Structure 1
Amino acid sequence: MADPVALMALALDAALGWPQSLYRRIGHPVGQFARIIERCERRWNRPELPIPTRRRWGTVTVLLLILLVGGSCWLLQSLLLKTFGQLGWIVLALLAWPALAQRSLFDHVRAVALTLEVGDLPAARTAVSAIVGRDAEALDESAVARAAIESLAESYCDGVTAPFFWLLFAGLPGVWVYKAINTADSLIGHKEERWRAFGWAAARTDDLFNLIPARLSGLLICLVAGGGWRILWRDARNHASPNAGWPEAAMSGALGVRLAGPVSYDQVVHSKAWIGSEGRQACAHDIRRALSIYCRACLMLWIIAAAAWLF
């Protein structure tokens, strides 16, 4: 877009995040997406339906989200630009602002670092459980730090770079369609028996939408850190996701710590390959270093947004 929508949205998010006062009053837009997805899932993912049927209805759910969200945002964007002209970008930036998560991600990960730094491991486990899905009750200090850094790296893509990319590339429809698909992936894009067929389309579509942003995230992390390239190229594919490994491998290489590896979900240990296997164990100080890299990587997006506006 030829206006500073992306730049202003980044600035609003960095300054304010999504205030709790707003959340209490109106919730968050992704909550509306979740309600649509849950209604479709209850209606179309019944256990008695054949697997191919459930997969087709899951595909319909994804298409419905794209049409509803993309269509309504396109109409709204067109109306605003037609009504207010060049000033319409201000309202568009306000509408795009909630799709970004720079501030909230920083605050959540910083909370883990603060509790580890004062030696309060139970509080650190509680803080990290708010941003990861793994079992946190038995994690030691290193495992807590590793989980926080992994979440920061992966969410830099999902919560910042990808929404920014789609906002810059396709305006308001792009950023909110991405958020709708990403919400669907987080709710139904799982490999468990209940979700495997119905969530297949959501997972594959999310992979497609993150294809470029994930690689961009990895490149920006290595660029601002001044290193990590070798681990990025070598270990980016060690992750089960085709995309999450890129920012995680970049952060692993930049910090010199090992990430990923075996992890427990619902009391079941899952064997995962290490990323940066020769690196040392992570600690609280490494979370601080990761946050510093994260802030600089976010700043790179600001620079890209400014360049897109000016040139």
Structure 2
Amino acid sequence: MIARPEQLLVALIGEAAIGYPTALFGAIGHPVTWIGGAIAALERGWNRGSAPRRRAMGVALIIVVAGGAAAAGLLVERIAGDHAIGITAIIVLATTGLAQRSLDDHVRAVARPLRRGDLVAARAAVAHIVGRDTATLDQRGVALAATESLAESFCDGVVAPAFWFLVAGLPGLFACKAINTADSLIGHRDDRYRWFGWAAARLDDMVNWVPARLAGLGIAIAGGGGFAVMWRDARHHASPNGGWPEAAMAGAIGRRLGGPVSYDGAPAPRAWLGDGPPPDAADLDRALAIYRRACLLHWLSVGAIAWLR
């Protein structure tokens, strides 16, 4: 039987090379969109009543969604067994939980118009990957938003699912993606989700604790620097995890990330990470190059684990 590290390495390389086919997405969507649809449906029916009830129902949602995802992964592994076709199926399904290619595609879609000075197109592209208001962002504001998303998503979309696949196979990867998706959709502190999304946010913090630090380390190594800034500034981030890859990227490119933003017109103060001015179009290109090297470093690390086994 091919061990998990070997399966993961093939999945990482395959996903980076091919990604998730556009035609397949158009026909059946993506597993993450299926999870998102289930979360949205449950939220509409369960997110009501008193604060204690909302919190309890939010816990129930996480149990149902993450538990269901893990059970699906376990079922696939049981059916797959040790046969070549089954192992291939596991590898193919594992690629759906990774986002190296799609993250690179989305950030390049921001970098291209930004490089040629088309701020309108760059704003439209960055709006697909960040939740903040983008209509009034200048060039540096767009580059900053894309760079932050690139760094944080390296953890959420690459390192974390890979880590949990190594730990617990497809059940671990699927549960990780379900928890991350739930946090993205309901793990907010506004009036609607403060209580209902509490469990999703806390569990996502737990699931990403180790991967975030590994992601920060990978970015700093790939960027040839950033360790000092990461160690100094990561704790200033509102998230216990998001600051590690973001501060590492800030240090690696020698620019400042973070700072105040707005969501739906409401100002949101944030700490600054790093030193110097915010990034520009050229810095976003540098961040993309660091991200690609960090992905390669990730492959080498998984390959080393496979070899040592």
Q: TM-score band, normalised by the shorter chain?
A: over 0.9
**1:286 is the counterpart of 2:286:** no
Residue number among 255, 269, 272 corresponding to 2:270 in the alignment:
272
Q: Which runs of 5+ in 2 are unaligned?
A: none
- Counterpart of 2:15 in 1: which secondary structure? helix
1:194 aligns with 2:192: yes
Give the distance between the partners of 1:41 and 1:225, measured in 2 at CA: 41
* SS of equivalent residue, structure 2 residue 267: strand
1:136-158 CA-partner distances (Å, limit 9, x unpaired): 11111111111110010000001
CA offsets 1:106-139 (integer angstroms, 9 cap, x no match):
1111121111111111111111111111111111
Following superposition, the deviation at residue 67 of structure 1 comes to: 2.1
User: 1:135 aligns to what?
Assistant: 133
In the TM superposition, residue 87 of structure 1 has moved relative to its aligned partner by: 5.3
1:2 aligns with 2:32: no
The residue correspondences of 1:21-100 to structure 2 (distance < 5 A) are: 21-46=23-48, 49-82=49-82, 84=83, 88-100=86-98
Residue 11 of structure 1 aligns with an amino acid whose one-letter code is I
CA contact (8 A) 1:2 1:308 kept: no
Q: Is contact 1:62–1:202 with CA below 8 Å preserved after alignment?
A: yes
**How many percent identity over aligned positions?**
52
Q: Distance in 2 between matches of 1:305 and 1:219?
A: 15
In the alignment, structure 1 segments of 5+ residues that lack a partner are: none
Query: 2:238 corresponds to which residue?
Result: 240
User: What value does the CA root-mean-square deviation take over the aligned residues?
Assistant: 1.2
**What SS does structure 2 have at the residue aligned with 1:99?**
coil
Q: Is the 8 A contact 1:125 1:139 kept in 2?
A: yes
TM-score normalised by length of structure 2: 0.96
Q: TM-score, normalised by structure 1?
A: 0.96
1: CA distance between counterparts of 2:97 and 2:67? 18
Aligned to 1:209: 207
What are the superposed Cα offsets for residues 21-63 of structure 1, whole Å, 9 maximum, x if unpaired?
11001100012211221222122112xx111011011101111
Cross-structure match for 1:161? 159
Per-residue deviation at 1:90?
A: 1.6
More off after superposition, 144-153 vs 59-68: 59-68
Q: Give how far 1:242 is off.
A: 0.7
Separation (CA, whole Å) in 2 of partners of 1:42 and 1:126: 29
- CA shift, 1:280, in A, is 2.1
One-letter amino acid of the counterpart of residue 37, structure 1: I
Residues 258 and 282, structure 1, Cα contact 8 Å, conserved in 2: yes
Following superposition of structure 1 onto structure 2, how do residues 95-114 of structure 1 map, counting pairs within 5 Å? 95-114=93-112
